[in-house]
């Protein structure tokens, strides 16, 4: 089973940028679509972005379109989430996930989850 580890979270001011990374433990990383979700306190987990195994296809939830960019480097077994124009409402724990589909909006086909990384947007 693939194991995922996120990094790059932290405290950032509103309007700032942050790049999250998620490294997979296995060479089969390239077989999976990769997703980013987040969960804020008291709220349900929310799909943010997905990317197909070959990076040809991406999908985003409306609230992050134009601000967040998902990308991957299969040679490094790593998926990234570049976040810009961050807002206080982006504060949450961010999770990466390996799935069958880059449009797995509810995580029904997720094969593995990362442990999460905290992102706090505050002045």
Count CA atoms closer than 13 A to 36's CA, side-chain side.
Answer: 30
> Residue 8's closest CA among 94, 84, 70?
94
Q: Which runs of E-coded beta strand occur in the chain?
A: 4-7, 10-12, 18-24, 33-39, 46-51, 58-60, 68-73, 78-83, 92-99, 110-113, 117-121
Per-residue pLDDT of 15-59, as tens digits, reads: 999 999 999 998 789 899 999 999 999 999 999 999 999 999 999
The Cα 70–Cα 94 span in angstroms is 13
What pLDDT is stored for residue 70 in this prediction? 98
What pLDDT is stored for residue 28 in this prediction? 85
> Residue 55's closest CA among 37, 75, 85, 83?
75
- Asked if 72 contacts 17 with a C-beta cutoff of 8 angstroms, the reply is no
pLDDT bracket for residue 1 (50, 70, 90): confident
Per-residue pLDDT of 64-121, as tens digits, reads: 999 999 999 999 999 999 999 999 999 999 999 999 999 999 999 999 999 999 999 9
What pLDDT is stored for residue 91 in this prediction? 98
3 state DSSP class of 101: coil
């Amino acid at each position: 089973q693939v194991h995922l580890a996120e990094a790059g979270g932290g405290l950032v001011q509103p309007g700032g940028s942050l790049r999250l990374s998620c490294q997979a433990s296995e060479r089969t990383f390239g077989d999976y679509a990769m997703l980013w979700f987040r969960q804020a306190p008291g709220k349900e987990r929310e799909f943010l972005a997905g990317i197909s195994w070959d990076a040809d296809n991406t999908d985003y939830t409306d609230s992050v379109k134009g601000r967040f960019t998902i990308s991957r480097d299969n040679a490094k077994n790593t998926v990234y989430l570049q976040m810009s124009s961050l807002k206080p409402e982006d504060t949450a724990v961010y999770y990466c996930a390996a799935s069958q589909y880059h449009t797995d909006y509810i995580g029904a086909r997720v094969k593995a989850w990362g442990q999460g990384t905290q992102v706090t947007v505050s002045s």
